[in-house]
Every structure is written in structure tokens, then in C-alpha cells.
Structure 1
Amino acid sequence: MKNLLYILSFLFSFGLFAQNDALFKQGNALYNEGKYAEAIQKYDDILSTKKHSADLYFNMANAHYKLNNIAPSIFYYEKALQLAPNDKDIKNNLAFAQNMTVDAIGVVPNVGFSKLFKNITNSMSFDAWAKATVVLVFVFVILFLIYYFAYSTGRKRLTFIGSILSLILLCVTLAFAFQKYALDKKDKPAIVFAQETQVKSEPNLRSEESFRLHEGTKVQVVDSVDNWKKIKLSDGKMGWLASEDIKILTAF
């Protein structure tokens, strides 16, 4: 019975893959013909099956960009970057799309040790830091065992020094892993989809307007109350806006 279920599951997955591949090719063909809205529909059909890829999001964003859909194009370029963070084509096209936005928001610069620490932390993913920590644990254990059972004074000295260095590096990578985890947990980016939205000082319609944002602007969600989201801009400004006015770039 289990074997039959495995076979049926495999056949279903294979059939879904073949269907999505056909839809992707159809979407690309429609895009090349200038039928961008129809291409988007094909790409949406693939997304409805919960299948994701950088290429799919990139093509989806390109189609929206051709239609001057500012917020969706930026949103899907950002989704593509989540899957391919080093892709230059995605970064370049995202920059073009961002040039269409109205809001000009500065960035609070990180300087000195804070900037260096953040850059090092973000140089690798949490999984990469965790794997480096595990490797160093094995290195430490092996070097310590060699030190413990070695008879040669020179070998004992070298392995002792090596084990101490690996232990120090282990603590460093572990600290960066926890820091990266904390940063990722707080990172909740979203894109403004409303053509224009009022950012309030408090999460209610009667509160004072702090400022306004327009479609395509990227924000950080820092809190939620009912149908309101507290957002923070790259220049440090904060406020509340209606949840329906933004779309969160949820992780996969």
C-alpha cells in the first residue's frame, strides 16, 4: 500500500512539474509577443501550485514592469532576490523599477564597528554560520583527542594551540549565527501596494497623519494591531498604516 502511495505521489509530482514547465514556456512565449497581461496569468497559474523559482518571479516582475505596474514589479523582483540574492540581472532590473517610485527615502548610515559587525553577520546565511560552527566543533574535538593521546611534546603543543584557536573561532561563528538569526527574525519587509496611503501616528483613523507613502516603497513591518501595521522606513521614520495597503515579502 505504501509503495502504491509513493508511486502515485511521484506520478502526481512529475505531472505537476510537466504542467508548470509547459505553463512557464507559454508565459515566456506570450511575453515575447508583447502580451504581458496574458503572460502574468500563466505565471500566476504556476504560483497557485505553490511552486517557486527565481526565474519565475523575475519573469513575472518583468511583465509587470512592462505594464508600468510599479508595486507588483518591485514586489516580484524582491521575491526573486530572496531566492537568488547575488543575481546581477535581478538587482539591475529592480533598480530600474525603483526609479519609478515617488518617495525618495534616505538611509540611516551604519558607521564604525556597527557597520563592520553587520556586514560580517550578513556575509553568510544563518545556515552557513551554523554549518561553520558544526565543522569547528569537529575540528576542536579531533585536535583535542590528538593532543590528549599524543606522546610528542611538539605535537601536543601544536594540537593544543590548534584546539584553542578552533574553540575561539567556534564561539565567534556561534555568536554570528545567533546574531544572524535575530536579524532574520526581525526582518519583515513589505511593499506598499496602495497608490497613496496615509501613515498615522497611532493605529486608528482618528489619529494624526505623520506622512504619506506611495506604491512601490519598501518598508519594514515592526508591529501589528488588528488591521494596522506599524512600519519603519530606511531613514528611521515610523508610523501605522492599513494592513491592506501593503504586501509582506514573506519567506518561503
Structure 2
Amino acid sequence: MKPLVNLLLCFFSVFVFSQNNQLFDEANALYNDGKYAEAIDKYEAILESGQHSPELYFNLGNANYKLNNIAPSIYYYEKAKLLNPQDADIKNNLVGYAQNMTIDAIETVPQVGFARIINNVVNTFSKDIWAKIAVIGVIVFVILFLLYHFSYATSKKRVAFVVSLVSLFSACFSVVMAFQKESLDKKDNPAIVFAKESRVKSEANRTSEEVFRLHEGTKVQVLETYEDWKKIQLSDKSTGWIPSKDIKIIKTF
């Protein structure tokens, strides 16, 4: 019975994939004909099937940009960038075009000193790459340690000992960097404001003092959640509480 179920699931997956490819081609054709709203409907139908890709989000961003949909265009460009952070076209359309449509001009407070150096080192690689470097370091350490132990030549023993220590240090350092990267990634919870105008409060209730207002397309960091409110932080380190319905989390798929 189980092989039959697996076969049916495989067949269904192939069918959905084929159907989504057809929808993607149809959406691209509509986009090229200037029918951006119809193209968006096709792209979103693919999303509803559970398929996600940087190309799909990039095209959704382009179509929304053509319709001057500020928040959706930035939101989808950001999701495309999340899946493919090195793509030059995504960066160019996000920074060069879409973000220029936003109203809020918020300065970025740069990191300084030792914290900046550490974060730059941590962000050099992803968590997985740091972990792979650690594994390679351990393997090299074991091989060189065995070479040191069984070698009779003094010069070889000296070289093997020194390099093995360097490998061990590299492995330990990479493990620390992997955990630090994971911690930074967990804290990084960006969202895009979708409300035309949202009143950010000092506390998580509507009667509290208004601290500032945000407009569609502005990117924020979500710090915590309380009932129907999100505590957010801007790039200038300002904080406040915004209704959850006014923003969309980028990392939600």
C-alpha cells in the first residue's frame, strides 16, 4: 500500500510542477503584453500551490512595480533577495527603483568598533558554510595528528604539530562563528509596511501615545509580538508598536 501512495504522491508532484511551469509561462506572456494585474494573478496561483523561487518573487515584484504597488513590489523583491542574495538584478530593482517610491526617509545607524568587525566576520559565510569549515578543520587536525604521532622525522613532526593546532583552532573558531551566525539569523526578522499609513504607538494598545507614523513600503525589524501588535525597530534604532495587520513578515513562506 505504501509504495502505491508514494507513487501517487510522485505523480501529483510532477503534475503540479508541470502545471506551475505552464502558469509561469502564461504569466510571463501576460507581463510582456503589459497585462500586469492578470500576470500577478497567475504568479500568485503558483504561490498558492506551495512553490517558491527567486524567479517567481522577482517577477511578482516587477509586475507590482509596473502598477505602482509600492509595498508588494518591495515585499516580493525582498523575498527574491532572501532566496538568492547574490542576484544583481534583484538588488538593482530593489534598491535602484522600488525603494525610491517610499515616503519615509529613515537614516541607518552604522555599527562601529568591535561589534562591527565581529558582525562583518560572522556574515562572511552562511551558517552551513561555517559548519563545513569546522568539519574540514577537524578532519585535517585528525590526519595531521596521526601523522605527527607516527612520523619519525623531527621536521615532519614539527610541521604536522603546528598545522594540526592551526586546524584545530580554525575548527573551533568556525563552530563559534556558526552559532553566532545562527543567532544573528534568528534575530533578523524583517517586515514590510503594507498600510498606506500606520500609526506606531509607544505601547501595544490603541490608546497609547503615538511615537511616529510609517507609510507603505518601509522596511522594519520585528522584535516581538503581543496579541495583535508587533514591536518594531527602524534602521535609525527607533522602536514602537504597530498593528500586526499593517505589516507582512518577509521570511514567512
Q: TM-score range by the shorter chain?
A: over 0.9
Q: Give the unaligned 5+ runs of structure 1.
A: none
Q: 1:124 matched to which residue of 2? A: 125
Question: Equivalents in 2 of 1:164, 1:124: separation in Å?
Answer: 23
Task: Give % identity.
Answer: 59
Q: Give the 3-state SS of the residue equivalent to 1:99 in structure 2.
A: helix
SS in 2 for 1:30: helix
Deviation at 1:140, TM superposition (A): 0.9
Cα deviations across residues 41-87 of structure 1 (Å, max 9, x unaligned)? Answer: 00011001111111000000000000000000000000000111011
Question: In the alignment, which residue of structure 2 is the partner of 1:204?
Answer: 205
Matched position secondary structure for 1:223: strand
Name whichever of 113-122 and 183-192 sits farther off.
Answer: 113-122
Separation in structure 2 between the aligned mates of residue 78 and residue 196 of structure 1, nearest angstrom: 20
Secondary structure at 1:221 match in 2: strand
Using a 3 Å threshold, how does the CA distance of structure 1 residues 251 and 135 change in structure 2: closer, same or farther?
farther
Alignment length (residue pairs): 252
What residue number does 1:195 align with? Answer: 196
Quote the offset at 1:132 in angstroms: 0.9
Q: In the TM superposition, what are the counterparts of 1:169-188 in structure 2 within 5 Å?
A: 169-188=170-189
CA shift, 1:113, in A, is 2.7
Q: Residue in 1 aligned with 2:241?
A: 240
**For 1:171-218, what per-residue CA distance to the aligned partner results, in whole angstroms no more than 9, with x for missing partners?**
211111111011001010000000000010000011000000000000
The letter of the residue matching 1:90 is: I
Letter in 2 for 1:115: R
> 1:228: how far off?
0.5
Q: TM-score, normalised by structure 2?
A: 0.97
- Is residue 2:134 matched to residue 1:133? yes
What's the CA shift for 1:251? 5.2
Number of the residue aligned with 1:40: 40
Q: Which residue identity does 1:109 align to in structure 2?
A: P
Task: Identify unmatched segments of 5+ residues in structure 2.
Answer: none
Per-residue deviation, 1:10: 1.8
Residue 14 of structure 2 is aligned to residue 14 of structure 1: yes
Aligned pairs (5 A) from 1:1-252: 1-95=1-95, 96-250=97-251
RMSD across aligned C-alpha pairs, in angstroms? 1.0
Displacement over 4 Å in runs of 4+: none
Provide TM-score, normalisation by structure 1.
0.97
Deviation for aligned residue 1:7: 2.1
